[in-house]
Structure 1
Amino acid sequence: MTAGDLTRMPEERRRRLIGEASREFADSGYEHASLNRIIRACGMSKSSFYHFVASKAALFDLVLDELRTDVATQLSIPRPEEFAGERFWSTAEAFLRQLTERAQTDESFTALGRMVYATGVPTDAQGPIRAIFVVAEEWLEAVLVVGRRDGAIRGDIPPALQTRLVFALLRTLDEWAVSHVGELAPAAMGELAEAQGALLRRMLQPTG
């Protein structure tokens, strides 16, 4: 079965399957997610489920792609040139706040984050996750090029190394926030976004 097979499922049933599967993967991780629980929650028979989806890996891929599309349509990602000149830090901090707000209010956003950082994902289901990180790192690289060009960030280390360092930091911060979003009050999440912005400033602003 291919990802396109799911498009033949009635829309209401398809949405329910994506919703139940995303919650199961987000709450239980890949390894401990149960297809039987998903199938029962959707009110489907196993034969009906496997008519549309071949395996857990295929379902994980489908759900990840669906959530990524849903989040992309709702998230306003600044173009690299929007960071030009004196707008670099105000744009960066506004984007961090937007991500923090989404994490608190958008179930798809949170589920996507938990799936991206899920442990035990087999090799044949990791492709979509790698693709998400490749696109994110390419966007970050373009943003940093603008910041270096306009003097908003330091230019004393090689660009490729700077991109890797910043991406590693952002990925670590994101993974921590995703795993703790349910434990923090909105005010604490707001403070976290401000702290992340301050940390990036200390890391990237020119020292001279």
Structure 2
Amino acid sequence: DKYMGDCVMAFWGAPIQSADHATQAVQAALDMIVAMSEINQEFIKNGWPQIGIGIGLNTGPMFVGDMGSDLRRSYTVIGDAVNLGSRLEALSRIYGVDIVVGDAVRRLAFGFHWQELDRVVVKGKEEAVAIYTPRQVTAGQTEADLSHELAEWAGFLRAYRHQNWDACDTMLFNLNRMNPDFALYRFYADRVSERRHLPFDPAWDGTTHFQSK
């Protein structure tokens, strides 16, 4: 749709409706990550710094059409669902993943493995939303390996939300052995280390509140 500073915005499902717009968006995001990896291989050969991208995906009702003025207009989208997509993109840097997907996309996109990252309330919102990242089998990994990792992670999130920090430490140890280069596990290790010094809070459900974009 447009370039905005260092950002590219794209949308699916208009002007031609597409029943699988969410699946198309997730696949496009995964293809972008593959392309970026190939570009970075060239950068490494040339001795250049590698570059990275973060992608946020969301879906929902929005205004679609020609917008602007007589001097400048474009066919674009605006709305609350669009703004949330932008907020999700910013979270990719925090959680150490390439792609952050809202729950609405996760429920509509088929054929992918999903790893829940957190439940968050982003700046300007009051309702918590679950966020996910799509996972693919990597080199040296089998489908069974990935399924086992995701099952261990689901157990970790349950323990985390129940403030069972000893169980969290054990499961993070296992997860780091399965996937030692995954920044998400280091991120949560720091969180657990910080929270275990706090008193038990029966009102806390694990939701993260962000006060900045």
Question: TM (normalized to structure 2)?
Answer: 0.28
Structure that is richer in helix per residue: 1
Question: TM (normalized to structure 1)?
Answer: 0.28
Structure that is richer in strand per residue: 2
